[in-house]
């Protein structure tokens, strides 16, 4: 049983590392504003076209930033959930052997 717990901890660490290497990206206004994040939901970059800054007002910029940040975080959450589901299925399969099945 302890082996299974240690294996689960190891898998969790592997997932965290893997999610750190997965990059998701979202953009709005045809790429004039883009945000990237890791699968662990850490923002890594925000890019705003300088020309867009000249032609937009602060309210428009704020709304678009909220939209693009929420979109990229949602993508990261989906990636994270997919990774966790895959490992959970794998772990559940091996837990069947724990009870002699």
Structural domain contains residue 65: yes
CB 79 within 8 A of CB 24: yes
- Two structure tokens written together for 99: 């009870």
Question: Residue 13 sits in a domain of what CATH number?
Answer: 3.30.1310.10
* pLDDT single digits (tens) 81-95: 998 888 778 777 655
**Residue 95 confidence (pLDDT):** 56
User: How would residue 2 be classed by pLDDT, with cut points 50, 70 and 90?
Assistant: confident
Predicted structure pTM score: 0.80
Structural domain contains residue 71: yes
Q: Give 45 or 12, the one with higher predicted confidence.
A: 45
**Structural domain containing residue 6:** 2-81
- Give the number of domains in the chain: 1
* pLDDT single digits (tens) 51-101: 999 999 999 999 999 999 999 999 999 999 998 888 778 777 655 555 554
């Amino acid at each position: 049983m302890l082996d299974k717990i240690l294996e689960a901890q190891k898998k969790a660490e592997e997932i965290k590392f893997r999610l750190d290497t997965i990059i998701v990206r979202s953009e709005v206004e045809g790429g004039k504003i883009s945000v990237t994040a890791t699968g662990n939901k850490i923002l890594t970059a925000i890019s705003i076209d300088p020309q867009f800054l000249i032609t937009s007002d602060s309210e428009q910029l704020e709304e678009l930033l909220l939209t693009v940040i929420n979109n990229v975080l949602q993508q990261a959450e989906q990636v994270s959930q997919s990774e966790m589901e895959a490992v959970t299925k794998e772990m559940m399969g091996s837990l069947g052997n724990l009870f002699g099945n």
